[in-house]
Structure 1
Amino acid sequence: MSAFVWLDYSERDRRKMLDVVDLFKEHDTRDELGLGAIRDSFADQFFPGTSTIMTRARYFLLVAWTYQRLERQRVTSARIPERGRRAETDLIEAIEQSDDKEGNIGKYAKTTLKRLPSSVYWHGLNVWGIRTFAGAQSQYHRSLDRSYAQLHRHGGRVTERDAEHDDLIAPNWHAGLVLPPEAFPDECSLRLTRAEAQYLSERIRLSPQCAGTLLAELVARHHHHEDVAFVWQLPYLAEMPLKLREMLEHARNFSEITHGAPLLYNLILAEQERWDEGVEEYRERFAAWAQLVTGRSSILKAWKRNRFWELARAGNPRISAPTYDFSNAWWDRVLGTDPATLCDSQAVRALIRDRERKLKTDLARIGNPRARELWNGDSGSAQLEYRWLISQRLLGDIFKGLEASDA
C-alpha cells in the first residue's frame, strides 16, 4: 500500500502535493520523466494562481462567498471543516440546475467529492489577492475562533491593533470583494456577471503577485484566445513587453525540444507491450516532432541555455541536478544529429530508461511487465503548454462576463 503523507508545511507545498495526486488521473499532465519542476516554474511565472485541475473562473468567488457567509454565522473552528464541506457540496446541485454548469466540480461524486473547490482554488485566491489570510486552509480553520474573539473585543472593527495579542486584526478576505447575488447559495451558476468579471480582472491586474505576468498582460488586452493551442502562437506576441517575449521564447524551446522524450518513452512501452497500433501511432508522432524540431534547428542551436536555466530557477530554485543533467543530455542528442533517427538509437533509449529508473526505482515501467499493467497506452505524451489551456478558459470566462449585459 502506498500513501502520500505531509505535515502542516507551507500552503504552496501542500498545494503542489495535492495537484500531483490529482494529476495521476490525467494522462496529458503526467510527468513520467521528471520535467514537472521546470514546467511548473514557467507556468507559475506566466499564469500565477492557476492550476490544471481548475475548471471555471467563478469558483474564485464561490469559495470566498461561501466562507464569508460561514464567518458571518460565526461557525466555530471545530465545526468549520464539516460546515464548509457541506456548503460546498450543496453548491453542486445548485450549479447543476443552472443555465451554465459546464465545469461543475463534483458533478458525479456529489457528497463523496474528495477534493473540494476550496482546496483547488485556495492558493489562487491568495495569489489573486482575494484571500488575505496568509496560510493553509487548515490554519485558516483553526484561526477562526481567535478571530471572532478579537472582533468581539473591538466591536466588529478590523485592521486595528489588538493590544492583548500585539497583532493586527485583519479580515480574511479582500475588503472590496464583490457581493454575491441575493439568491446565493440556493441558486448558483458558473457564469460571471459583468461586475464579477470586472472584479476578477482588477484583482489580477492589481495583485502584487500577478503584476508584470503574462496573465495580467492578457487580462489588460482583453482578447479571446480560444483557438490558440500554445501561448507563443498569439498573433500579437511581438507587442508584448520584452521580458515576457524572452520568457515565452525560452519556454517554447523547452516545450518543443523535450516533447520527443515522452513520445519515445511511450513508444518503448508500446513496443514492449507488443501493441502494434500504439507503436505505429507513436512512431508517426515522433516523426512529426522530429520534423518540427528540424525546422527550428537554427534557433534551437543558438538557444542560450544558461539564460534558460536562470529563468527556470528564478521560478523554482529547487530544480534538481539530475533534472538539469537529463535535460541537457537530451538536448545534446537532439541537436547533435538528425532527430528522426533518435527513436531507434540505443543510447537515447538508455537515456530514457535510466532516467525513469532513477525517478521510480522498482516502479519504473520500461522492462517491468508488472509496472506496465497500470499503463493505459498514453502517459504524459502531450506537449507542454504551461497551463495555457486552463488559463484560456479562465480568461474566457472573465472576458465573456465583461461583455455581459447584467451588472
Structure 2
Amino acid sequence: MASSFGWLAIDPEQRRRMMEAVDQFRDETTLDDLGFGAIRDAFSNLMFPGVSSIQTRLRYVLFIPWLLQEAAHRDTVARMQSQFREDEFRLINALQSGKETLGVIGRDAGRSLQRLPSEIYWGAIGRWGIAETGFSTRRYFERELLSREEMKATPRADDPDVPIRLTPTGLDPRLPPPPKHLLRETTFALRPEDARYLRETITRTAAGSLLAHLVTHRPQSWTDESTRPAGVGDPAIRQGLPPELDALVDRATRFALTAQGANLLYNLLLAEAAHQTDQQGTSLTEVYTQRLDGWFAEAQDTEPLHAQDRELLWQTVIHSGRRLSASTKDFVGTWADAVAAAGTAADLTGSSELRGMVAAREREKKGPRARLNPGNQLALDAWGGASGTARFGYLWANASRHLQDLYEAEEAA
C-alpha cells in the first residue's frame, strides 16, 4: 500500500504553507535523502527571496492583486471570495485567448485545478511588499468593506484636495492599474509601468539578494532566452557581483557540488544493492561509477569546503531561521574533508567508512523507510534509478524566468 499523509485545512494560509512543503517532493533537485535541505533552502531564500519551485511567470504577482481589486466590487465578503475564485479560473481562458501556452497555471486542468495561482504566488506577493506580510484575501475584502463604511461616515471636507483617511486595504497603493479587458484576453508580457513597479519593489524589499542585483544588472551575455546563464555560478552572473554577494554565491555553488557527490555515492550504493540497468541495458553501478569519476574531476578543480567555509554555511542556515543538527554538521564536514583529501574518486567510493556513513545518514533521516536498511526490499524496489542526483539549482530555473520577463519588458519599452 502506498504511504500518504493528510492535514486539517484550517485556513487558506495554513493550506498554502502545507502545499509549499508538498512541492518539495516534485522536483528532483529538492529530494533530500541525506538531509541537505536546510542548507539548500537557506541559500535559495537568501539569493531569491519570494521565489518558489512551482512559480511560472512573473506577471502572476500582479494578476492576483488585480483580481482581488475586481472582486472587491461585490457587496459581501463571501461574494467577493466567490468572485475572486471564479476570476482565477477565468484568467486561464484569458491567457489562452492571448495565445499564451507555456506557464499558464491550469492550462490542462481547467476548472478542476486544485492549486490556484493565488496560493502559489501569495508568498512572493507578501515578500515583495505588494501586499502586507501575513495578509490574507479575506482580510483584504474585509478592509474593503470597512473602507466603504468609512467613506459613508466621513464628512466631506470643504477643500476637495484634502484626502480622506481610510483604513489601508493591505495592497500596495502604488500598484499599477490593471490592463483593460484583463479577463477577456491577456498575456504574460509586462507593460513598462508593470516592469518599473516590480523593479522598484523587488530591489527595495529584497535588497542585497542576487534577485535584486540581477533585476537592475542584466548580464551582458544574457541577450535572450537562449543565452540565459545556466546557473547561479555562471561566470556571466558572478562578473560584477558585489564582494559579499559573490562570496555567498561561491559558497552556494561549492556546497552544491560537494552535496551532489554524496548523493551520487548514495545512488551508487542503491545501484549495487538493486542490480538494475538503465534503458540501454548498462548496469547502474557502472553508470554511477562513471558519474562519480566525472564529478570528482570537477571537484578537484574547485576550492574545497574548508572548516571556515562550513562555519559560514552554518551561520547562513541559522540566520535564515532554520534548524541545523549536529549530525548534519558532522556529515557535511566529514564528507567535505574526505573529498578534499582524496586523490581519486575510487578513494571515496571504495571507502567502507564513507559507505557506512552514507547508509547511516539515510537511516537517520528516513528511519524504517530507508532503502539501504537490510531486508527493506520493498523500498529498494521502489527506487527509480535516481534519487536527488541533480545538483542544487537554488530556484534558478524559476527566478531566471521571472528575470527574463523583466528584461523583455525593458527591450519592448
TM-score of the two chains, using structure 1 as the length reference: 0.87
Please tell me the residue identity of whatever aligns with 1:333: A
Aligned partners of 2:135, 2:295: CA distance in 1, in Å?
Answer: 41
Match of 1:181 in 2: 179
Match of 1:250 in 2: 251
Aligned partners of 2:244, 2:364: CA distance in 1, in Å?
Answer: 35
Change (3 A) 1:222 1:304: closer
Conserved? CA contact 1:40–1:386, under 8 Å: yes
Aligned partners of 1:269, 1:68: CA distance in 2, in Å?
Answer: 53
Please tell me the residue identity of whatever aligns with 2:218: H
Conserved? CA contact 2:274–2:381, under 8 Å: no
Conserved? CA contact 1:55–1:393, under 8 Å: yes
Within 5 Å, which residues of 2 pair with 1:20-169? 20-76=21-77, 78-132=78-132, 134-135=133-134, 137=136, 140-141=137-138, 143-144=139-140, 146-155=142-151, 169=167
SS of residue paired to 2:26? coil
Q: Residue by residue, what CA displacement relative to the aligned partner does 1:374-393 show, whole Å, maximum 9, x if unpaired?
A: 43222211111211221111
Change (3 A) 1:148 1:100: closer
Aligned partners of 1:331, 1:157: CA distance in 2, in Å?
Answer: 67
Match of 2:361 in 1: 355
Q: Residue by residue, what CA displacement relative to the aligned partner does 1:82-116 show, whole Å, maximum 9, x if unpaired?
A: 43332212222222232333111122222222211
Q: Which 4+ residue blocks in structure 1 deviate beyond 4 angstroms? A: 6-11, 13-16, 79-82
Match of 2:162 in 1: none
- For residue 343 of structure 1, report the CA deviation from its aligned partner: 2.1
Which blocks of at least 5 consecutive residues in structure 2 are unaligned?
A: 155-165
Conserved? CA contact 2:307–2:333, under 8 Å: no
- For residue 7 of structure 1, report the CA deviation from its aligned partner: 7.5
Please tell me the residue identity of whatever aligns with 1:88: E
* Worse-superposed segment, 235-244 or 351-360: 235-244
Length, aligned pairs only = 388
Match of 2:230 in 1: 229
Conserved? CA contact 1:98–1:189, under 8 Å: yes
Please tell me the residue identity of whatever aligns with 1:396: Q
SS of residue paired to 1:307? helix
Change (3 A) 1:108 1:378: farther
Match of 1:165 in 2: none
SS of residue paired to 2:233? helix
Aligned partners of 2:265, 2:249: CA distance in 1, in Å?
Answer: 25
Aligned partners of 1:251, 1:119: CA distance in 2, in Å?
Answer: 28
- For residue 202 of structure 1, report the CA deviation from its aligned partner: 1.5
Match of 2:5 in 1: 3
Match of 1:394 in 2: 402
Please tell me the residue identity of whatever aligns with 2:353: A
Change (3 A) 1:41 1:105: same
Q: Residue by residue, what CA displacement relative to the aligned partner does 1:203-253 show, whole Å, maximum 9, x if unpaired?
A: 11222xx01211111111133374322212233624221210121121122
Which blocks of at least 5 consecutive residues in structure 1 are unaligned?
A: 159-167
SS of residue paired to 2:33? coil
Conserved? CA contact 1:57–1:394, under 8 Å: yes
Change (3 A) 1:279 1:6: farther
Q: Residue by residue, what CA displacement relative to the aligned partner does 1:127-180 show, whole Å, maximum 9, x if unpaired?
A: 111112x3254xx42x3564244213310799xxxxxxxxx8222211011112
Change (3 A) 1:323 1:398: same
Match of 1:162 in 2: none
Structure 1 position 403 matched with structure 2 position 411: yes
Residue 370 of structure 2, aligned match among 354, 364, 367: 364
Change (3 A) 1:181 1:169: same
Aligned partners of 1:287, 1:363: CA distance in 2, in Å?
Answer: 29
Residue 295 of structure 1, aligned match among 282, 293, 301: 301
Q: Residue by residue, what CA displacement relative to the aligned partner does 1:294-353 show, whole Å, maximum 9, x if unpaired?
A: 1225x5447532223223322234223332222222212222323502123222122121
* Worse-superposed segment, 336-345 or 252-261: 336-345
Aligned partners of 1:10, 1:75: CA distance in 2, in Å?
Answer: 19
- For residue 399 of structure 1, report the CA deviation from its aligned partner: 0.6
Please tell me the residue identity of whatever aligns with 1:272: A
Conserved? CA contact 1:101–1:190, under 8 Å: no
Match of 1:344 in 2: 350
Aligned partners of 1:362, 1:241: CA distance in 2, in Å?
Answer: 46
Structure 1 position 275 matched with structure 2 position 273: no
Change (3 A) 1:391 1:157: farther
Structure 1 position 217 matched with structure 2 position 225: no
Aligned partners of 1:6, 1:275: CA distance in 2, in Å?
Answer: 40
Q: Compare CA radii of gyration and give the structure with the larger one.
A: 2
In angstroms, what is the RMSD of aligned CA positions? 2.7
Structure 1 position 170 matched with structure 2 position 168: yes
Match of 2:327 in 1: 322
Task: Percent identity, please.
Answer: 33
Q: Residue by residue, what CA displacement relative to the aligned partner does 1:57-94 show, whole Å, maximum 9, x if unpaired?
A: 11111111111211233451x45554333221222222
Aligned partners of 1:157, 1:172: CA distance in 2, in Å?
Answer: 21
SS of residue paired to 2:151? coil
